[in-house]
Chains A and B, each alone.
Chain A
């Protein structure tokens, strides 16, 4: 039985933040969940995917976050308890549906988990998703600990049901990927069937309907403000004259800082866990009798603006600071030392920070840049495309493992902003420059956001080549399925959708599919398409080696080695491919047989044909 399905009420267990969120949803009786994976949210969906295979929970990996939200919205309109999970930039994709779903509201419950990534451990930006609360009018809950993440996830369903609104549970990486002790609660039974009561004049958002729905949303926000003002998630600790307002993980840093400084009795702390609508009455009570206040939050000055607004409306003149002015930065993460230092400085308290040992004379540790894996098919495709186009073409790229192709010696990546934007921007690059443009997109990204820019480019007669790097899985986030993936080995009947058929269906006439490990054939295919005008598509199809080895029937291929008597040490293999299975020993290239997957790409590149599979009986590992 899945660990999160154990009905041991009161037991304390060590859970990852993302496991805790999934458990909270299960305790609330979630019946349907949907997601598109994205760090740091992915492990929530993983729990649901596993649990759906041994229970009546319905879960799906949807093609993108907007679809995931829409699936959940449909089910929530029929009264079900639903959850949808995504990373922060995924909410940008889902936001179109979310803005108007806030107008219709929902019948059952819908909890949207959005995981922000301050410092951008694994993301293209560090946007602060709390602004989506203001933009949409929807409630936002923000846990400070792993235990709270579980309890808040469960409470979010109650709140959603009470207000008949989607509720946003907003986390940051340091909650999602932290672990802590969690007390298990009772698992409510799932209600997996609902009813839809038709009511087009409340649910079909034509202008006349929406003009009635917007005031209704404002009424719900007013009710939500009352709830926030009285919510146990918003609480005042202490009654000193110095105020600190904080949220999320910064609450832990503040709490530890006051302990460390030993002046906790001089403070009052307002911990905001229900942050939108903002608890204005509570904050007014907090600020009255406060000499000065410091707002401690990662990211944007969201709380700071709200607290200042509240003070202004209450006629309070105390200094309220947070971001800038020599205090906190809007950049990256906070940590205990930063928070302690700023608290001490703002309240003019003595503080001697911990001094790290001297390290300037220690040797520098060599960088460990992430790299495409040994046997990664993307490397093979990149090398073939580079052989044809060199540095002449412009290479817009996309989100996934293959973004790592930007690193030397591959140097295949000139512009990257968002899912699907490689294909979208390619048309602009080609129109503006008249140069050859080759856009890269992965298979999962293709289904996520690649279809509409491709259709648009075909129709508008753009001129570029799209290379679909099809490794048969969502590689970067941990091998989740997408609409092109067969799940027969999990006994999940799915009919994979052919990317080639989709591309042809969208009107692309010049389409070739190759196995990129057949190097010469791939180069020939690229050359052939390079001569075509209009939008052409190359589908480079070979499995992700990390995923393949998890599939039933996988057998490791024989690793390759360099024959020293044939090798003339051109090192073309290493300078062109940068495969991490290679190493240089005494000036000669060698291959680590444990890391080599036997993909044979290097053997096809070597001018002396000095690389070959290790002979002898098949190596079976």
Chain B
């Protein structure tokens, strides 16, 4: 299979690493070789967490600027920050619920206008799907399941050669038993949201 490059960006605590792991395990289960790298320097202390997932052919563990096939952003400002990874071929799936950094919370820095920023981004990439994944995660039972909502959104775009049922199986096997039902519901809510372009609240864009 030709290489598929999936960049996942998030804030510490949003479950980026687990999402990447589920994606990698699902690829392996579907017979596609995954290679992944993760960066979480001081994530527990409010920093940014990045995962790079490469599926299929190739040997490197890294995604260069402009070459991502998918940018999966768990937080809209982080989606914007990682935009340099995108080219005209990129499909962007972004959460629209902000998690402002401390500097913004204190009024010392400005949080960007997300709807216009995502709209600008949408006009430059192949496709952009954005919805309030945090609200959907709450519907599923906990904001902690937002990562599974985002995986659902990613799978619905159809850019991966991995069927949704393989993801469901991996979620059932690899996430904590007490959270499996919630995670599966979150995953399905994400799929629905991306399919309908329905935006529960917070404003969204589907270009």
Contacts and interface: CB of A to CB of B under 8 A. Distances in A.
Interface of A: 12, 14, 39, 121-122, 144-146, 173-175, 177-181, 249, 251-253, 255-256, 259, 333, 335-338, 353-359, 361-373, 401, 404, 546, 574, 578, 580, 582-584, 587
A103 B12 CA distance: 46
Chain B contact residues: helix, strand, loop or mixed: mixed
Contacts of B103: 366-367, 369
B135 interface: no
Contact of A122 (B41, B46, B78): B41
Nearest to B112: A363
A583 B105 CA distance: 5
Given A335-B62, A367-B101, A356 B35 contact: no
Given A178-B36, A362-B83, 15 more contacts: A173-B39, A179-B21, A179-B24, A253-B60, A335-B64, A354-B87, A356-B66, A357-B83, A357-B121, A366-B77, A368-B11, A368-B47, A404-B42, A578-B106, A584-B105
Contacts of A364: 112
Closest 8 A-B residue pairs measured CB to CB? A363-B112, A337-B64, A370-B42, A356-B66, A252-B59, A583-B105, A365-B81, A354-B66
A359 B84 contact: yes
B36 to A, nearest CB: 4
A178 B35 contact: yes
Contacts of A368: 11, 46-48, 101
Interface of B: 11, 20-21, 24-25, 28, 33-39, 41-42, 44-48, 57-67, 77-78, 80-81, 83-88, 90, 100-107, 109-113, 116-117, 120-121, 124-125
Contacts of B104: 366
14 contacts: A14-B24, A144-B59, A251-B59, A253-B62, A255-B60, A337-B66, A357-B84, A357-B121, A362-B80, A362-B121, A370-B42, A546-B44, A574-B106, A578-B106
B58 A256 contact: yes
Contact of A357 (B11, B46, B100, B124): B124
Contacts of B81: 365
Contact of A355 (B66, B106, B111): B66
A179 to B, nearest CB: 4
Contact of B100 (A12, A353, A366, A369): A366
B67 A336 contact: yes
Contacts of A121: 39, 41
Nearest to B90: A357
A621 B44 CA distance: 19
A546 B33 CA distance: 35
Contact of B34 (A174, A180, A401, A578): A180
A255 B87 contact: no
B78 to A, nearest CB: 7
A359 B79 CA distance: 12
A253 B35 CA distance: 13
Contacts of B109: 366-367
B61 A583 contact: no
B29 to A, nearest CB: 10
A353 B66 contact: yes
Contacts of B121: 357, 362
